[in-house]
Structure 1
Amino acid sequence: MYKLIALDMDGTLLREDKTVSQRTKDALKAARDKGVTVVLATGRPIEGVHRYLEELDMLGENDYVLSYNGSLVQKTKNKEIISKRTLKGSDAIYLYNLSKELKVNIHSFSENEGLITPKSNKYTLVEADINGINFKEFNFDNIDAEDNMIKIMMIDEPEILQRAVNNLPKELYDKYTVVRSAPFFLEFLNKEANKGTGVELLAQHLGVKREEIITMGDAGNDLHMIEYAGLGVAMGNAFEEVKKVANYITDTNENDGVAKVIEKFVL
C-alpha cells in the first residue's frame, strides 16, 4: 500500500492555466482521507506554493512541502524545517562570473535577501511573478562569501541557455546538483539536494519505506524523485528523459494525469 505521494507542480499537478482540476482535488482528498501523506515537491519557494496549499487544505499539523527542488523540507503550518541543504555566497560569486563568460542572465535565492539578480531581466520577472514575490537588483561582487544561498539559477531564452549548458565546465556536475527545471531555467543546488533526497528524508521522518512512495513529475528536476520512488510516474507531457526512467506514464497535466494515477493505484 502506498503511504506517501510527492507531486511536482508546474506541468504535473497544475494545468497550463496554473489551476488544479476538480477531479484532481477530489482524488487528492480521497487519498488523504485514506491516510496517505500528499506533498508538493517544487522548485518554487514556499511563498510560491502557499495559495495551492491553502486551496488543497494542506496547512495542517501533519502537512509538509519540499521547496527549492528539495533543498528545503518543512512543515507547511509553522514552516519548521525538517532538512535544509544550501549553497554559499561564494558559489553565487563563482556562478555569476561564469554566467558573464557564458553570456547568460543569473539570479539567486538568498536566505537573507530573497530573490536577487545583478540586473533586472525577463526571466527574473517571470520567477517573481510565478511565486508572487519581489526581487531586488544586487551587486553580486558584494555578496558575502559565507551567506547562505538556497539555489542559484542561470536564466535566459531557451536557445541561449542551451548554448550555455553545452559549454558548462564538466566539474560543475561534480560540485552541484544541476537541473533544467524549464527550457529557460537552469538550477544549481547543493550537491546533496534534489527532489529525490528531499522525498527520501521526508520518508525517513515519517517512517515510510521506499516501495510505499509514489512520485509524479514532468521535467529534469523531477528525475531524482521519479527514480527513487517505488512507483515513479512521468506525465504524458514529460520530457523524454523523464519518461525513460519512469515505472509508469500517465496522461498529461491537462487531462487529469495525476488524478488517474491516484484512482488506479491508491483508491
Structure 2
Amino acid sequence: MYKLIALDLDGTLLNSDKQISSENKAAIDAARAEGVRVVLVSGRPTSGMRESLEALNMVSDDDYVLSYNASVVQKVKSETIIRSQILTGHNAKQLAKLAKKLDINIHAFSHQKGLITPAHNDYTTHESVINGDTITLIDFEELADDEAILKVMLVDHAHKLSAAIAQLPAALYEQFTIVQSAPFFLEFLNKDSNKGIGVKALADHLSIPAEQVICMGDAGNDFHMIQYAGLGVAMGNATDDIKAVADHITVTNDQHGVAKVINEFVLNM
C-alpha cells in the first residue's frame, strides 16, 4: 500500500498549458480520500507553487510542500520548516564569476531579495513569469557572503548552455548538487539537497518507508527522488536518463500520466 505520492510540477502534474487536468485532480482527490499523502516537489519557489496547491486544496498545516528542488521542506499553511539546506552569497558570487567566464546568464533566489540577476535576459524573465516573481537587478559581488541563497541557476539557450556544461570544472560536482531541470536551466543546490533527500526527509518525518513512496517526474532534477522511491515513475515525455532509472514509465503529462499511475497503483482501478 502506497502512503506518499511525490509529484514534480512542470512536465509532470501540469500539462503543456501549465494546468492541472480534471483527470489528474480527480485521481489526487480520490487518493487523498483514501488517506494517501500527496505532496508537490518542484524546482520552483513555494510562491510559484501556490496556485497548484490551492487548486488541489493542499493548503492546510497537515499539507507539505518541497520547493527549490526540495532544498526547503515545509508545512504549507504555517510555513514551518521541516528541513532546509541552502546556499550562501559566497556561493552565488563564485558561480557568477564562472558564468561571466563562460559568457552565460545567471540568476538566483535570495531569501531576502527574491529573484536576482546581474542582467536582464529572456530566461530570467521566463522564470519570473511562471512564478509571478519580480526581478531584482544586482551585481552578485554586492551580496553578503552569508546571505541566504536558495539556489543559483545558469540560464541560457540550450546549445549555449550545453557547451558551458561541458566546460564545468569537476570540482563543482563535489561542491554542489547540479541538476538540469530544462534544456535552458542548470541548477546549483547545496550539496546536501536534492529531491530524493527532501522526499526521504519528509517520509521519515511521517514515518513512511521508501517502499511505500511513489515519486513521479520528467527531468534531470527528478532523478534522485525517482531513484529513492519504492515506485519511481517517469513520464512518457521524460528525458532518457529519467526513463532509465524509473521502475515504471507512464504516458505523458498531456495524457494525464499522473492520474493513470494513481488509478493503477493506488486506487486499483
Instruction: Give deviations 1:100-132, integer Å, cap 9, x for gaps.
Output: 111100001011111100011110000010101
Which whole-Å CA distance do the structure 1 matches of 2:102 and 2:201 have between them? Answer: 35
Instruction: Give deviations 1:189-242, integer Å, cap 9, x for gaps.
Output: 000100000000000110100100000000000000000000000000000000
Aligned residue for 1:70, secondary structure, equals coil
Match of 1:186 in 2: 186
Q: Which letter maps to 1:90? A: H
Across the aligned residues of Structure 1 and Structure 2, the Cα RMSD in angstroms comes to: 0.5
Q: Choose 135-144 or 216-225, whichever is displaced more.
A: 135-144
Matched, 1:43 2:43: yes
- What's the TM-score once normalised by structure 2's chain length? 0.99
Deviation at 1:246, TM superposition (A): 0.1
Aligned residue for 1:171, secondary structure, equals helix
Aligned residue for 1:49, secondary structure, equals helix
Match of 2:143 in 1: 143
Match of 1:204 in 2: 204
Aligned residue for 2:133, secondary structure, equals coil
Deviation at 1:146, TM superposition (A): 1.0
Match of 2:154 in 1: 154
Match of 2:232 in 1: 232
Which whole-Å CA distance do the structure 1 matches of 2:59 and 2:145 have between them? Answer: 35
Match of 2:170 in 1: 170
Match of 2:266 in 1: 266
Match of 1:134 in 2: 134
Which whole-Å CA distance do the structure 2 matches of 1:229 and 1:82 have between them? Answer: 19
> Aligned pairs, how many?
267
Deviation at 1:135, TM superposition (A): 1.2
Which whole-Å CA distance do the structure 2 matches of 1:165 and 1:223 have between them? Answer: 18
Match of 1:71 in 2: 71
Match of 1:216 in 2: 216
Aligned residue for 2:170, secondary structure, equals coil
Deviation at 1:81, TM superposition (A): 0.8
Instruction: Give deviations 1:245-267, integer Å, cap 9, x for gaps.
Output: 00000000000100000000000
Which whole-Å CA distance do the structure 2 matches of 1:142 and 1:55 have between them? Answer: 39
Aligned residue for 2:149, secondary structure, equals strand
Instruction: Report the identity percentage.
Output: 54
Instruction: Give deviations 1:4-44, integer Å, cap 9, x for gaps.
Output: 00000100000000011111100000000000000000000
Deviation at 1:61, TM superposition (A): 2.3
Q: 1:55-70 counterparts in 2 under 5 A?
A: 55-70=55-70
Aligned residue for 2:14, secondary structure, equals coil
Q: Which letter maps to 2:217? A: G
Q: Which letter maps to 1:59? A: V
Which whole-Å CA distance do the structure 2 matches of 1:151 and 1:29 have between them? Answer: 32
- What's the TM-score once normalised by structure 1's chain length? 0.99
In the TM superposition, structure 1's runs of 4+ consecutive aligned residues that sit over 2 Å from their partners are none
Matched, 1:12 2:12: yes
Match of 1:80 in 2: 80
Aligned residue for 2:61, secondary structure, equals coil
Q: Which letter maps to 1:266? A: V
Deviation at 1:65, TM superposition (A): 0.5
Matched, 1:109 2:109: yes
Aligned residue for 1:189, secondary structure, equals strand
Q: Which runs of 5+ in 2 are unaligned?
A: none
Which whole-Å CA distance do the structure 1 matches of 2:6 and 2:17 have between them? Answer: 21
Match of 2:195 in 1: 195
